[in-house]
Structure 1
Amino acid sequence: MGTELGQLRAQHPAAVGGRTSLARVLDVLQEDPRPCSYLADRSASLLHRIQVDVTPLELEALLERGWRRFGPDYFRPGCAPCFECVPTRIPTAEFRPSKSQRRAHAACGELEVRVGAPICDDERLALYHAWHGQRERKRGWEEAMLSERSYRIQFAFPHPAAREITYVEPESGKLVGVGLCDETPRAWSAIYFFYDPAWAKKSIGTANVVTQIEIARRRGIPYVYLGYQVDGCPSLAYKASFRPQEHLIGLPEADETPVWQRAPAAPTLKRS
């Protein structure tokens, strides 16, 4: 991204959804085009807004307009004319897990689920690197050199909406999964999830999404935001299985009303 927190410059009020905001936008930048991480034949260029003092309601308005967050970095695609990254959300009151999703949730049912504020410690760093290292070997991901400082900025940056879901083996007390999330009155944003590779065979990733939808529903939150869905990207294909779901039409600006449209029902395979 080319910008360090210590080098952030101009500070001025932001506005989202037609309301004056007390959030301070420290920097706005557009990435130079680079190879897309999702589609091999495309280039990518994210729009970044580095900002602080964003309230939960302001974050909610940003989520409704297709923005995502890592720490103080708010971003969304700026790769026109490509519009393959489609913001996706799940209406919690209508969600019904599929048979395979129920099976994954049950397989991980022994784990203790805890919700709290994000923190950074050696256990979380080790778990992140174990998970990412497995992805590097299996999927050819670039090597991750995530330091404690980088983890704190990306995943444990102070924010009133920030939440952390942890999955812990009850007998050993071992941490086997960490989900980073945001909670606002009408939105639960699933930001990032990493886990012990030994739990992959129990589909803990799927179980985590089901768990987050359940938590949001119990708290009266109508939508869980899953980030971007990209047709043709295998690593994001799992998102299409959570139904019903809604997709954002275009990428509206702060003063425009976002329009979310119900996605077509998943096709049903016919038996011959």
Structure 2
Amino acid sequence: MTRHPTDTPQFYLTAPSPCPYLPGRQERKVFTHLVGSRAQVLNDVLTQGGFRRSQNIAYRPACENCRACISIRVRVDDFRWTRSFRRLWKRNADIVGSTSEPAPSSQQYDLFRRYLDARHAHGGMSDMTVLDYAMMVEDTHVETMLVEYRRRGPDTFLNGRGTGPLLAVALTDRLSDGLSMVYSFFDPDAQSRSLGTHLILDHVERARALGLPYVYLGYWVKGSPKMDYKARYQPQDHLGPRGWFPASSPDDDPVD
């Protein structure tokens, strides 16, 4: 049985593989295991240092000739609610997100599969089984939660939960200084709702209610259409060689 040290993290480097964001480039990652009693503290430190979490692994790009992946976080207290954001928030006023422990369900997996088949049919996660999904959700040693989004029901004001079919799910880590959106997916048929945007706006408000200053959105890659949407959430900080710094914001009001 493989044993992973829990007191002093060991870091490893992956072999080169095709970059999923920029054609013709190779990517490498440095990673470590998030296990044991110090996993939460380590996840905090590493996320603030530009790492991302996948199950009990923390990783970040370590490409030899490329620095295109930039860690970003949204500044909650100064968040700019554009006109299009406000319209979208009002459009989805009938949706509520309820939090729970990271426990997988058949409803989640069904929605997850529909999302992958519609949005990422040829991506690296396209062949994930129900067991793979369960591991993604519950294989964690850090403080994390699931947020399930459904329509508001007659008892929502009492129990805080929605009713009806599952519309979206977010797997989110709680850090000392923010919320880190690990992975999210949503109903691909509800295009008019722009649920991906709604989930990020909802996390900004959740972080605000918790008194947390940041929402971590992972990596932004300039020139990658897959990542363009992340530039919309302003103001935000980017992580550079000397630490986090305020990034310049677009001048125009984003359109849904």
TM over 0.5: yes
Which runs of at least 4 in structure 1 moved beyond 4 Å after TM superposition?
none
Which residue number corresponds to residue 114 of structure 1? 98
Corresponding position of 2:216: 225
Partner of 2:205: 214
> Would the alpha carbon gap of residues 174 and 78 (structure 1) be closer, same or farther in structure 2, given more than 3 Å must change?
same
2:2, 2:223 → 1: CA distance? 36
Identify which of 225, 232, 244 aligns with 1:234: 225
1:132 aligns to 2:132 (yes or no): no
Cα shift at 1:268: 4.1
Are the aligned partners of 2:51 and 2:60 in contact in 1 as well (CA < 8 Å)? yes
Unaligned 5+ segments in structure 1 are 1-6, 15-24, 251-257
Whole-angstrom CA distance in 1 between matches of 2:239 and 2:31: 19
Structure 1 counterpart of 2:138, from 124, 140, 156 = 156
Task: Name 2:127's counterpart in structure 1.
Answer: 145
Alpha-carbon distance change, 103 to 230 in structure 1, aligned in 2, over 3 angstroms: same
Alpha carbons of 1:95 and 1:131: their partners in 2 closer, same or farther (altered >3 Å)? Answer: same
Q: After superposition, give the CA deviation of every residue in 1:183-206 in whole Å (9 maximum; x if it has no partner).
A: 122121011110111222210100
- In 2, Cα distance between equivalents of 1:28 and 1:150: 24
Q: Please give the root-mean-square deviation of Cα atoms over the aligned residues, in Å.
A: 2.0
Where 2:119 maps in the other structure, the secondary structure is helix
User: Aligned AA for 2:117?
Assistant: G
Cα separation, 2, equivalents of 1:143 and 1:76: 18
Indicate conservation of the 8 Å contact 2:43/2:142, yes or no. no
- 8 Å CA contact retained: 2:148, 2:168: yes
Distance in 1 between the 2:64 and 2:208 partners? 35
Secondary structure (helix, strand or coil) at the match of 2:190 reads helix
Identity across aligned pairs (percent)? 27
d(CA) in 2 for partners of 1:216, 1:236: 22
Aligned to 1:43: 26
Range moving further from structure 2, 169-178 or 186-195:
169-178
Task: Say if 1:120 and 1:148, in contact at 8 Å, map to a contact too.
Answer: no
Q: In the alignment, which residue of structure 1 is the partner of 2:13? A: 30
Deviations, residues 97-124 of structure 1 (Å, cap 9, x unaligned): 2112222222222112112221111111
- 1:86–1:229 Cα contact (<8 Å) kept: yes
**Which residue does the alignment assign to 1:8?**
2
**CA positional deviation for 1:10:** 4.5
Structure 1 stretch displaced more, 222-231 or 141-150: 141-150
Task: Describe the superposition over 1:237-262 as per-residue Cα deviations: whole angstroms up to 9, x where unpaired.
Answer: 11101000000013xxxxxxx61010
Alpha-carbon distance between aligned partners in 1 of 2:109 and 2:142, rounded to the nearest angstrom: 23
- Map of 2:54 onto structure 1: 70
Query: Is 1:82 matched up with 2:66?
Result: yes
The amino acid of 1:13's aligned partner reads D
Measure the CA separation in 2 of the matches of 1:267 and 1:112. Answer: 31
List alignment gaps of at least 5 residues for structure 2: 154-162
Aligned length: 243
Q: Which residue type is aligned with residue 40 of structure 1?
A: P
Give the secondary-structure state (helix, strand or coil) at the position aligned to 1:151. helix
Residue 167 (structure 1) aligned to one of 127, 149, 174: 149
- C-alpha separation between the residues in 2 aligned to 1:8 and 1:232? 40
Query: Contact 1:30/1:45 (CA < 8 Å) preserved in 2?
Result: yes
- Relative to the length of structure 1, the TM-score reads 0.83
Q: Describe the shift of the 1:218–1:143 C-alpha distance in structure 2 as closer, same or farther (beyond 3 A).
A: closer
Q: Deviations over 1:112-147 (max 9, x none)?
A: 21122211111111110000000145xx53572222
| 1:198 match: secondary structure | coil
Q: Retained in 2: the 8 A contact 1:71–1:153?
A: yes
